[in-house]
């Protein structure tokens, strides 16, 4: 597989966004624009914990069981989103090796084991079905990772895990719209930062929750997938099983695992506002929530953060297709 710098191939579409993540977060992409696949890595600062909520009917994930409240480990060293369907999980191996070489991970006897979680989306029907992210591409994404809270913007659009992403596939892949990677953030009145990154490859349409307008969907005037499922007799699409929206929400406020799980749950509300229909049998929708470990904020603040998580999730999904 040829390996290209993020967005560095002819024909790729990528833009930069100055969205801010909490201090210490680094985000990197590895993109094969010619064969329409890639991976995205999020490297959080030390002491970050994770929670996950899986709502799609066809998920492809790695190391999500760790983050069940009450389990031994709640900290996370890296999160990987990748194309390639199940094959793309190999990208996380490269990220794990890259971190281990730098002394990152849990000390277990004589070994040090990085905690790397991930999720994949199906892009094999868009580019080269034999091309998928591997361990080398995972390492490339780590090498390219840059501070997401500084002056350097986060690259969005058809890059990384979104290189081969499509949306609105109810009428078949040939009439679908471009998906991609998007980011968004909001700062609450008390200074708490809530940010999101989304890789959008949904079977449903992407809809602006503020206006109700379809931003990306099948190439058929006036068509709305959610309405058509209920009102029209549709032929089955051969690629209905190849869909997923992957989201990572990060907050600067400390949490413990049980309370952070609620943030991941609430972020799914934003996914459902922006993707219609969402959480279907044919999607692998997954939301990860990341935060510094510690005592959770008081309930009113948690309420604000949950609402913000839903908002930035929807905005990141919109940004993904608009930049694609």
Tokens of 285: 């929708």
Q: Minimum mean pLDDT among 35-49, 233-247, 307-321: which range?
A: 233-247
Q: Is the pLDDT assigned to residue 12 strictly greater than 80?
A: no
pLDDT at 9 over 60: no
Residue 6: what pLDDT?
Answer: 34
Note the pLDDT of residue 317. 98
Mean pLDDT of 6-21: 54
Beta bridge partners of 139: none
pLDDT tops 70 at residue 3: no
Residue 239 predicted with pLDDT over 60: no
Kindly report the CATH number that applies to the domain delimited by 14-323: 3.60.70.12
Pairing relation of β-strands 61-62 and 26-32?
Answer: unpaired
- Smallest CA-to-CA distance from 152 within 192, 189, 190, 183 is with 183
- For 53-91, how does the pLDDT look when each residue is reduced to its tens digit (9 = 90+)? 999 898 999 999 899 888 888 999 999 999 999 999 999
Assign 1 a pLDDT band (cuts: 50, 70, 90): very low
pLDDT at 170 over 90: no
pLDDT digits (tens, 9 = 90+) for 186-201: 999 999 999 999 999 9
The Cα–Cα gap between 236 and 280 comes to 15
238 neighbors 26 (Cβ within 8 angstroms)? no
**Mean pLDDT, the chain, integer:** 90
pLDDT at 282: 87
- Which run of H or of E encompasses 51? strand 48-54
Could you report the per-residue pLDDT of 86-107, keeping only the tens digit for each?
Answer: 999 999 999 999 999 999 999 8
Whole-number pLDDT of residue 14: 58
Q: Report the share of the chain in percent with pLDDT over 90.
A: 74
**Nearest CA-CA partner of 40 in 153, 144, 113, 193:** 144
Domain limits, the chain:
14-323
pLDDT digits 0-9 by tens, 157-168: 999 999 999 999
What pLDDT does residue 109 have? Answer: 87
Structure-model confidence comparison of residues 302 and 222, the more confident one: 302
Per-residue model confidence (pLDDT) at position 108: 87
Q: Does the structure show a pLDDT above 50 at 244?
A: yes
Strand partners of residue 37:
32
pTM confidence score: 0.91
Is the model more confident about 61 or about 149? 61
DSSP secondary-structure letter at 62?
Answer: E
Cβ-based burial of 234 (10 A; exposed 0-12, middle 13-18, buried ≥19) = exposed
């Amino acid at each position: 597989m040829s390996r290209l710098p993020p967005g560095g191939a002819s024909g790729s579409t990528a833009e930069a966004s100055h969205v801010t993540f909490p201090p210490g977060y680094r985000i990197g992409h590895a993109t094969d624009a010619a064969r329409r696949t890639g991976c995205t890595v999020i490297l959080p600062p030390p002491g970050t914990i994770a929670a996950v909520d899986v709502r799609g009917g066809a998920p492809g994930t790695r190391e999500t069981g760790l983050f069940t409240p009450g389990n031994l480990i709640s900290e996370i060293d890296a999160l990987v989103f990748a194309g390639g369907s199940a094959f793309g999980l190999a990208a996380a191996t490269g990220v794990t090796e890259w971190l281990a070489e730098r002394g990152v991970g849990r000390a277990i006897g004589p070994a040090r084991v990085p905690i790397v979680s991930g999720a994949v989306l199906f892009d094999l029907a868009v580019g080269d079905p034999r091309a998928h992210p591997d361990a080398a591409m995972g390492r490339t994404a780590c090498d390219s990772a840059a501070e997401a809270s500084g002056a350097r913007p986060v690259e969005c659009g058809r890059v990384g895990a979104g290189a081969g992403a499509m949306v609105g596939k109810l009428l078949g892949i040939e009439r679908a719209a471009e998906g991609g990677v998007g980011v968004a953030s909001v700062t609450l009145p008390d200074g708490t930062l809530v940010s999101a990154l989304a890789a959008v490859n949904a079977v449903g349409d992407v809809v602006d929750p503020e206006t109700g307008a379809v931003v990306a969907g099948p190439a058929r005037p006036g068509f709305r997938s959610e309405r058509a499922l209920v009102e029209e007799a549709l032929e089955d699409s051969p690629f209905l099983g190849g869909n997923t929206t992957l989201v990572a929400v990060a907050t600067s406020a400390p949490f413990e695992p049980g309370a952070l799980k609620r943030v991941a749950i609430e972020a799914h509300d934003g996914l459902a506002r922006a993707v219609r229909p969402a959480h279907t049998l044919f999607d692998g929708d997954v939301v990860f929530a990341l935060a510094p470990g510690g005592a959770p904020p008081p309930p009113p603040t948690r309420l604000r953060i949950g609402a913000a998580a839903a908002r930035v999730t929807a905005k990141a999904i919109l940004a993904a297709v608009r930049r694609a």
